[in-house]
Structure 1
Amino acid sequence: MVPRWRTHSPHSHSRHSHSPNSHSAHSRLRSLARGSFSEYRRITEVLRKETVGGALLLTATVVALVWANSPWSSGYFDFRDLHLGYEPWHLSLSLGKWASDGLLAIFFFVAGLELKREFVAGDLRRPSTAIVPVVAACGGVALPAIIFTLANVALGTEQSAGDALRGWAVPTATDIAFALAVLAVISTHLPAALRTFLLTLAVVDDLIAIAIIAFFYASGLNLVFLALAIVPLAVFTWLVQRRVRSWYLLLPLAVLTWALVHASGIHATVAGVLMGFAVPVIRSEKAGGPEAGPGLAEHFEQRFRPLSAGVAVPVFAFFSAGVRVGGADGVGSALTDPVTIGIVLALVVGKALGVFGSTWLVTKSRHAELDPDLAWVDVFGLALLSGVGFTVSLLVAGLGFGEGTLHDEHAKVAILTGSLTAAVLAAVVLRARNRHYRRLATLETFDADGDGVPDAFGNEDAR
């Protein structure tokens, strides 16, 4: 499929303005249209940090796999299972659990900040812009869950299918850091609209994953601890709403909130999300309002995103990705497990068809058209890339199957296999599009009038 590329020039607007059909062409709804230049610059910076984090994530994964399958593998598993902490609050945890329950709370705190930022001040605050990534993310969650369920019902026994279905949410998440690392490796220059779509899709995907973890994977709910958690969370919220940034006040409250939520039976990462939601996005009127610069949410995001992408997620990957790929409990038995088959099919086929099909349907149902700078094959390549699931998928596998169980080990093999397959297929499609992306990237930097805003973004003052 060869897309029809529209050639732009500094005078292209005046040329099109004389066309008798120009009014209808410009007024028609467009899917994945280019956002504002300020939002483009912010997202470009976010993606740059996530790409670096993705490289560290890949490195940690490879190190864990090599060590877990080396002659010194017992050292890896002993290290992962080493217990530290205080038992009365259920805080005597292995290092692996400290990584998944503790460090990942930082990851979900940043996700909460990003979610609120997008829906309050980002492009997702406009329903016309938000509907496409929201529907695409929902399709990219629903279809993989359905495929996984059907595969296990069809291929498993009644008893095994019942146990396996606890992992229905494993293949529903997209790992933005891993996906961006793949893009960095293949040196693809994504158009601005696609890069924005990738990030917003992952943001909405994170929101759905948070809801799934909170509502479907809570265990032994303790209402006393849950009620107690509201107190430090309320004080934290009161302070940040008054734009307090003092770490010696906020950090103890954050740790106490996390510990109480963990003790309540709700997964502790939910505490990170709730605290992220509490942080204000827009500056107060006393501080100059929205025009005075980034608000507290963006300030915290800039501080904590490097810690999340560079430390929390790679350390979690190191402790979670170590699985034996040989022997009776490795790939040999995993390949015949319906859990493995279901996860691989869901990540490779379900994610791609769910994201692409939902994007196509919502575009056509609104009588809209794809932005002229893009082609549907670009969207399909991105939909394939959304099948790269890792961080949240590994977390949900441990929650659903129980860490260290046979299904959990097989799920890890499946997540790695499915993610690698989706990454390779996406690389084939996106590399074929590389020269078109490069052409569009060149266009985005063209600034004929010298106003500091590339001409491709138009006049922002007129928006």
Structure 2
Amino acid sequence: MPAPPPAPTAIKRKVLGRLSLPERNFVAEALRTETLGGVLLLLAAIAALIWANSGWKDSYESVRDFHFGPASLGLDLSIGHWAADGLLAVFFFVAGIELKRELVAGDLKDPRAAVLPVVAALCGMAVPALVYTLVSSTGGGSLAGWAVPTATDIAFALAVLAVIGTSLPSALRAFLLTLAVVDDLFAILIIAVFFTDHLDFAALGGAVVGLAIFWLLLRRGVRGWYVYVPLALVIWGLMYNSGIHATIAGVAMGLMLRCTTHEGEAHSPGEHIEHLVRPLSAGFAVPLFALFSAGVAVSGNAIGEVFTRPETLGVVLGLVVGKAVGIFGGTWLAARFTRAELSEDLAWPDVFAVSSLAGIGFTVSLLIGELAFEGDEVLTDEIKAAVLTGSLIAAVFASVLLKVRNAKYRKLCEAEELDEDLDGIPDIYEQDNPEYHLRMADIYERKAAEHRRLAEVTAGASEENNGPA
């Protein structure tokens, strides 16, 4: 009796494999803007620290605490408050569009592909929260700041990559971007659920009605910024007065935009609006927030207290240790239990390096720190100092790890960019296309003919020079 044929070997899914060409182009465009915004964010944070620790410290506080706005509408806010609740709504609006796009057209569309970044992001938030809780409770500190080290700042992380000059492959950059998108989603949920002390149901009802009108106008295809911008401001104001953090309004409106293309459309409305608003978010809103949030007093004693006070030490360890261990562990577990394989171009130390880079938790961490310790100005400033310190340590640690592998990354990036047939499509994406191989054969034949012609010319010149006088 013949033996039964062997069972076919299941094809294992690749973890952090090569992106599709459209996804690669989208990621490249998105990260280009975020990188520039990250550099501006870094400069704004440095300017805030210098200003707040110089002889003009009083002027910094005066500007930050200057109030303006219609008091009758409950919006007589300080400049720092406007930056945190107003400008960051633009940041979260872009985050909402990014999340919607990931859900309908990106990595999160396929549940099997979504498992990895979702699990990695969840572990990358749970472990830092656990680290903070253990450190703070052991030292007898407050547990109110458990959410501070859970956030990742994609713009700041990309600014670090730009400064150290590493050539990170597109798959790792996309992984970092998707992590940040999922991270932002859960950060939004944390802010909405855990930092809402009271509710004004009339204002909340008005915000919901405004969102419903916003959605209806989008579905009817109504166009014109003069319609949506005033409506968005009304929704934001009502959401602020409802007691729920006003940035939630930005996310909700971002999620309502259509991020799939219809026939005849080169880009979806969501992508078009994101392309317009992202520079405003990355180049203005977030840096201005950093300018009025990162200005904390820095001294030898203050830095020493960061590593001795349980709340601040919990934030530092949560960002530096918790983020790296959580994201790396979540990625490894997701790959292990889904029987996926890491791309042959990468190694697990690469994943750990990117996980360490995600420990840069600047913008949202500062925001959550302000919400968690509202009313305690001293502890709020100390938490901000801890966020800055932890982000700096994570940036330096990740930079060292990434630099070690930079030669390998450079080769991968060069292979991704190579376009010898000059058709605008990297050759690596055309390897299975017969027409590509015909074009390359023609190119190689023309190059060979050129080399032969040059050799003949050189040989003729040599004979002429060596001939009889």
Give the structure 2 partner of residue 66 of structure 1: 50
Give the structure 1 partner of residue 272 of structure 2: 299
Give the structure 1 partner of residue 364 of structure 2: 392
Q: For residues 157-194 of structure 1, what are the alpha-carbon distances to aligned partners after superposition, in whole Å with 9 as ceiling and x for unaligned?
A: xxxx3xx2111100000000000000001111111110
CA contact (8 A) 1:337 1:410 kept: no
Which one of the candidate residues 331, 335, 354 is aligned to 1:363? 335
Give the structure 2 partner of residue 228 of structure 1: 206
Which residues in structure 2 correspond to 1:136-285 (within 5 Å)? 136-156=120-140, 161=141, 164-284=142-262
CA contact (8 A) 1:36 1:460 kept: no
Farther off after superposition, 301-310 or 130-139: 130-139
The aligned length equals 428
**SS of residue matched to 2:77:** strand
Which one of the candidate residues 69, 73, 83 is aligned to 1:89? 73
Which residues in structure 2 correspond to 1:419-438 (within 5 Å)? 419-438=391-410
Classify 1:185/1:224 alpha carbon distance in 2 versus 1 (closer, same or farther; 3 Å): same
Q: Could you say what the CA RMSD is over the residues aligned between the two structures, in angstroms?
A: 1.9
Which one of the candidate residues 416, 423, 443 is aligned to 1:444? 416
Give the structure 2 partner of residue 114 of structure 1: 98
Which one of the candidate residues 40, 60, 64 is aligned to 1:80? 64
Aligned equivalents of 1:142, 1:444: Cα separation in 2: 35
Aligned equivalents of 1:65, 1:404: Cα separation in 2: 20
Matched, 1:412 2:390: no
Aligned equivalents of 2:418, 2:304: Cα separation in 1: 54
Give the structure 2 partner of residue 3 of structure 1: none
Classify 1:119/1:458 alpha carbon distance in 2 versus 1 (closer, same or farther; 3 Å): farther
CA contact (8 A) 1:34 1:457 kept: no
Aligned equivalents of 1:309, 1:135: Cα separation in 2: 27
Letter in 2 for 1:139: C
Q: For residues 422-457 of structure 1, what are the alpha-carbon distances to aligned partners after superposition, in whole Å with 9 as ceiling and x for unaligned?
A: 000000000111110110111112346665432433
Identity score, percent: 53
Letter in 2 for 1:274: A
Aligned equivalents of 1:92, 1:304: Cα separation in 2: 26
Shift of 1:127: 1.6
CA contact (8 A) 1:32 1:132 kept: no
**SS of residue matched to 1:226:** helix
Aligned equivalents of 1:192, 1:333: Cα separation in 2: 39
Classify 1:77/1:240 alpha carbon distance in 2 versus 1 (closer, same or farther; 3 Å): same
Aligned equivalents of 1:403, 1:378: Cα separation in 2: 42
Shift of 1:129: 1.7
Which one of the candidate residues 112, 117, 133 is aligned to 1:128? 112
Please report the TM-score for the alignment, with normalisation by the length of structure 2.
Answer: 0.88
Segments of 5+ residues of structure 2 without an aligned counterpart are 1-5, 435-469
Letter in 2 for 1:155: G
Farther off after superposition, 342-351 or 332-341: 332-341
Give the structure 1 partner of residue 299 of structure 2: 326
Greater Rg, structure 1 or structure 2?
Answer: 2
Aligned equivalents of 2:376, 2:134: Cα separation in 1: 25
Letter in 2 for 1:302: H
Aligned equivalents of 2:52, 2:343: Cα separation in 1: 47
Farther off after superposition, 357-366 or 137-146: 357-366
Please report the TM-score for the alignment, with normalisation by the length of structure 1.
Answer: 0.89
**SS of residue matched to 1:148:** helix
CA contact (8 A) 1:214 1:267 kept: yes
Matched, 1:454 2:432: no
Letter in 2 for 1:295: S
Segments of 5+ residues of structure 1 without an aligned counterpart are 1-20
Shift of 1:327: 7.4
CA contact (8 A) 1:241 1:278 kept: no
Shift of 1:404: 5.6
